Amino acid sequence: MRAAFVTKFGPPEVLQVREFPARDPAEGEVRIRTKAIGLNFADVMGRLGVYPGIPDPPFIPGIELSGVIDAVGQSVTSVKEGDRVFGFSPQGACAEQVCVSSDFVRPIPVMMSFEEGAAFGVTSFSAFHGLRTLANIQRGEKLLLHAAAGGVGTAALQLCREWGVEVFATASTKEKLEVAKNLGASHLVNYTSEDFVEAVRTKTHGYGIDVVMDSVGGRIFKRGWNLLAPMGRYVLYGFASVTGPRTLNKLKALRELISVPLIHPPSLVSRNRSLMGFNLYFLSHKTEYFRNMAEELFELYRKGALKPVMGATFPFERIAEAHAFLQSRRSIGKVVLVID
């Protein structure tokens, strides 16, 4: 079979597709014949060597995929050979056959395509986990959503439309903001030309914001943090700002990181603010939580309320191009690799 490798940490060209032997599933695992692989910004960070827990190169990257189960290990009862599924893997998804714990695999709805299956999990789980489980967002509340037209952003917008949340969407281009508007965002801010703090203050008549979903981190943190209204919740779940257009810009990364203020816990009390963070990568042991979440999200998919926004698909062998595209900030929605 073919598998993609991160041959060393660096720009997209360090990715190479090579022949690699497939293996049989161990006890508790299934083997998936891969049809599509969802690309995540975490893959970019992993390739650059700045993702926590990333192995030393060479390694097979990729954390989510869809396909058909073609072999089942001992003691697996939840799925069977021939099932159309999506699955998660702590690295290793960028291959034509992938062995993964059956705990991390779920059948996908009949009408869901493999491309959608590969685009659905991380985006919608992240949006749901941040907005519902952590922030407990309520109908009528105001959300500031950064990177609103990205994979997670477009899933978050659809959940907010369903839940009646008023969204202030930020993105770097007019085209992206148009997508955010079509997915229900009430207010649009192009943060390359407008000050998002001023825009929010003006549009809310000084009230501020109830919840911030921030996957960009760095210097925007402080500004968003100060926008929180009493009972405001700040959900931090990514650091896209530390990356450069192709590689890691170490100086910029350092500048972004040191511009994040230190939070003094007693100040949370007196100002009624909460700071929360998450990384799904380190929550994989919460299998029942994710199973229940998947059911709820699939239900929204079936009723047409939540559908992955497919930004671009690339053939598997063009993985380096797909990475470059996602890192370039030009992508809208989800970038997916497909295998014939």
Q: Which residues bind ligand NAP (CB under 6 A)?
A: 40-42, 122-123, 126, 147, 149-153, 171-172, 176, 215-216, 237-238, 240-241, 243, 278-281, 327, 329, 331
How buried is 73 (Cβ within 10 angstroms: 0-12 exposed, 13-18 middle, 19+ buried)?
middle
Nearer to ligand NAP, 76 or 235 (CB): 235
Least distance in Å: CB of 230 to ligand NAP? 26
State the nearest-atom distance from the C-beta of 172 to ligand NAP, in Å: 3
- CA torsion through residues 21, 67, 129, 243, sign: positive
Minimum Å distance from CB 82 to ligand NAP? 30
Q: Kindly state the DSSP code that residue 81 receives in the 8-state scheme.
A: T
Smallest gap from Cβ 24 to ligand NAP, in A, equals 30
Output 41 or 298, the one with its CB closest to ligand NAP.
41
Q: Which is nearer to ligand NAP, 95 or 188 (CB)?
A: 188
Rounded (5°) CA angle 224-46-218? 20
d(C-alpha 235, C-alpha 128), whole Å: 12
By beta-carbon distance, which residue lies closest to ligand NAP? Answer: 150
Least spacing, CB of residue 130 vs ligand NAP, in Å: 8
DSSP string, 206-242: T--EEEEEESS-TTHHHHHHTTEEEEEEEEE---GGG
Q: Cβ closer to ligand NAP: 25 or 151?
A: 151
Beta-bridged to residue 95, according to DSSP, are 3
Residues 6+ apart with CB under 8 A from 33: 67, 68, 69, 70, 96, 97
Residue nearer to ligand NAP on the CB measure, 97 or 215 = 215
Indicate the residue type of 235: V
